[in-house]
Amino acid sequence: MRGTTAAMGLAVLAVVAAGCDSGDSPSAKKTTQPSNTTSATPTSGAGGVALTTYRSLWAAATKAALTSDYENPELREYAHDDALAYFVGSNLNNKEKGLVAKGEPVIAPRVVAEAGDKVTVADCVDGSNWLKYRLSDGKLADDVPGGHHRAEATVTRTTVGWRVTHLTIEEVGSC
């Protein structure tokens, strides 16, 4: 399976997470990521806002995944459409199975296209240290290792601000 849309879910990275969004607290905005970005990646304008939104979504998703909080309001702050459905669905699925995610994904997003109110972001999400654990005993849920997943997101200016509206995450080893 080459490219799976976020709405369909990705068992391994699906993360294990879920949730993200809103949250004005500094801790909700914190992500683990390389500090260097390619020179083609803008730091201001629509591209800069899109990167901030994308990073904030992953920070919120990581936070929500700690408790499989599918109702985390931060999800709606940074995601919409199928990207929101992906993170809500992943967390709900994990909650129903008694699973949570521990650790953090490592992201290194870059802008690859900008067209008015839409920005395309490419990434290689490293989920090696972001794994599912059982709440019942605190042990790893399975023996599926995390890994590197190629990701592509569309970040769109909506009536309520910039949101990740589409997210495609590919299988382990795709980047």
pLDDT tens column, 128-157: 999 999 999 999 998 888 899 999 999 999
The residue segments making up the domain with residue 93 are 3-31+42-172
Question: Residue 161 pairs with which residues in a beta bridge?
Answer: 158
Tokens at residue 173, please? 């080893």
Distance, in Å, from the CA atom of 91 to the CA atom of 86, rounded to the nearest integer, reads 9
Mean predicted confidence (pLDDT) in 24-50: 52
In 3-state terms, what secondary structure has residue 99? Answer: strand
Whether 10 has a pLDDT exceeding 70, the answer reads no
- Statement: residue 36 has pLDDT above 60: no
Q: Is 4 left (phi over 0), alpha (psi -120 to 50) or beta?
A: beta
Q: Report the domain count for the chain.
A: 1
The reply to whether 37 falls in a domain is no
Can you give the CATH number for the domain in which 157 is found? 3.10.450
Least confident interval from 9-18, 60-69, 111-120, 160-169: 9-18
Tell me: the pLDDT tens digits for 41-51? 556 799 999 99
Residue 88 contacts residue 15 (beta carbons within 8 Å): no
pTM given for the model = 0.78
**What percentage of the chain reaches a pLDDT higher than 70?**
75
Q: Is residue 16 part of a domain?
A: yes
CB 127 within 8 A of CB 15: yes
In a domain, 36, yes or no: no
